[in-house]
Amino acid sequence: LERREFCRYLGVCTLAACTGGLSGCARALEWSQSQHTRVVTRTFGAPAPSAPSEETSSGEASRSAEATEPARPKPPDIAVVKGDDPAANTRLAVSMLGGMERFVKRGARVVIKPNMLTAREPELGVTTNPRAVAEVVKMCWQAGARSVTVFDRPTAPARQVYTVSGIAAAVDRMDGRMKVLTQRDFESIKIPEGRVLSSWPMVADIFDADVMINMPCAKTHGLAVLTMSMKNLMGILGGTRGLVHQQFDQKIVDVNTLVKPQLVILDAYRILFRNGPTGGGPQDVRMGRTCVAGTSQVAVDAYGTTLFGMKPADLDYLKLAAAQGLGTIDLSKLRIEKRSA
């Protein structure tokens, strides 16, 4: 082997190795995106226990203030509270359902999904009231939660949305954790009962958690008419956002067949009654001063339509959900308890 020839071989081999190495680098950079394309089956956590009084005997739950109240025989399906303080409304509504201890056991990992669609000040009614979110975080800690995580998949950069909506500061004050979602948090999850969506990337954290609390706000929506708790679950979807907007009502129902948050708290302290879901100005916002809580998304949304002067049957996705047996939208069959804080 001549020196010249050897050098030539060496050069070619080095070039080939470099190319291989570089393409490896390129693949590494994109690697996480390819991680989650495989469709996996995940089961959502157990539904909320129906009777809270069984648990209070254990003694653990008596640590919190609500548990010392005389236990009601059976909590209502829907608790509706009116009042001037969103935090107090939320606290009372949850305690009417049997207190946070009913949903959050000691050591439970809790995720809270508020509506943080985009970066708007709380006064514009586009995002869930930060004081209500903070109060829920506080109640979770009081019930003995191990971790409380708050997240959404916003349409604007997460840091801006979390900051401008006031939710980051409110949750920080209560020592809750704001989680910024990235590509790696999504898994393609099978929706066994989905009629249009058979699988879609979803935030894996809600399947890892013990308890999920859905905290929507009451807004109008051009396509779904109203966006409340069922539609709020669309915020756990990853992938290309715009691609879920065809056969939208059925897709909302499909996601709701898989993900059934144990506790649903509809913040209607401010109601965005037109130009939803992103609003435009304070003129689109009406003070609802209401908090609606329940354990069924369908029931809560059915009641929520009355806040806008509508009937549950006005929403296609509610009709579809009822037809698929996800819950009742007949308000006369729901036990609704109203109080003021």
Partner 1 sequence: VSPKHPAAARARPTRGIHRFRRVFQVSFLVLFFVLLTLTVWPLGSVFLGVFLGADPLIAINSAVNGVWLWPMAFAVGMLLLPLVAGRAFCGYVCPTGSIIEFATPSTGPGRLSPKARGRLRALPTFVLIGCLGLILFANGAYLFFDPLATLTRTATTLVYPALDRFVRLAGDVAYLAAPLRPVTDFVTGALEGRLLFPDPLVYGFQVGVLAMFATMLALSWIEPRMWCRDLCPLGALLGLVGRVGPVGRVVDSDACISCAKCARACPMNAVSEDFLRTDASRCQSCYACADVCPVDAVHLGTKPARWSYTPSRRAALVAGGAAAAVGFFSFTGLARATKNANLIRPPGGRPETDMLALCSRCGQCMKVCPTNVLQPAVAEAGLEGLFTPHMDYAVGFCDWSCNECGKVCPTGAIRRLTLPAKRTTVIGRAHIDRNRCIPWADAQTCLVCQELCPVPDKAISILEETFTAPDGRRVTLGRPQVVASRCIGCGVCENNCPVANMAAIRVYTTRPAS
Q: Which residues bind partner 1 (CB under 8 A)?
A: 28-29, 31-32, 35, 118-120, 155-160, 163-164, 177-180, 182, 184, 221-223, 240-243, 245-248, 275, 277-278, 280-281, 283-284
Q: Quote the tokens at residue 24.
A: 């490896």
- Minimum CB separation of residue 85 from partner 1 in Å reads 26
Nearest to 114 by CA among 156, 167, 159: 167
Nearer to partner 1, 79 or 315 (CB): 315
Rounded Cα distance between 272 and 126, Å, is: 7
Q: Which is nearer to partner 1, 163 or 306 (CB)?
A: 163
In angstroms, what CA-CA distances link 6 with 2, 19, 123? 6, 20, 74
Q: Which is nearer to partner 1, 73 or 242 (CB)?
A: 242
**Shortest CB 281 distance to partner 1, Å:** 5
Question: Residue 227's beta-bridge partner residues?
Answer: 219
H/E/C letters for each residue in the chain?
Answer: CCHHHHHHHHHHHHHHHHHHHHHHHHHHHHHHHHHCCCEECCCCCCCCCCCHHHHHHHCCHHHCCHHHCCCCCCCCCEEEEECCCHHHHHHHHHHHCCCHHHCCCCCCEEEEEECCCCCCCHHHCCCCCHHHHHHHHHHHHHCCCCEEEECCCCCCCHHHHHHHCCHHHHHHHCCCEECCCCHHHEEEEECCCCCCCCEEEEECHHHHCCEEEEECEEEEECCCEEECHHHHHHHHECCCHHHHCCCHHHHHHHHHHHCCCCEEEEEEEEEECCCCCCCCCHHHEEEEEEEEEECCHHHHHHHHHHHCCCCHHHCHHHHHHHHCCCCCCCHHHCCEEEEEC
Handedness of CA 330, 332, 290, 94 (dihedral sign): negative
Q: CB of residue 213 vs partner 1: minimum separation in angstroms?
A: 19
Single out the residue of 114, 130, 215, 207 nearest to residue 165, CA to CA.
130
| Least Å from the CB of residue 23 to partner 1 | 15
Provide, rounded to whole angstroms, the least separation between the CB of residue 17 and partner 1. Answer: 21
For partner 1, the closer of residues 164 and 320 by Cβ is: 164
Q: How far is the CB of 310 from partner 1 (least distance, A)?
A: 17
Nearer to partner 1, 129 or 275 (CB): 275
80 vs 204 by CB, closer to partner 1: 204
Q: Which residue lies nearer to partner 1 by CB, 16 or 180? A: 180
CB 231 to partner 1: min, Å: 11
Smallest gap from Cβ 280 to partner 1, in A, equals: 3
Residue 135 or 284: the one with the smaller Cβ distance to partner 1 is 284
For the CB of residue 31, give the shortest distance to partner 1 in the complex, in Å.
6
Nearer of residues 50 and 182 to partner 1, judged by Cβ: 182
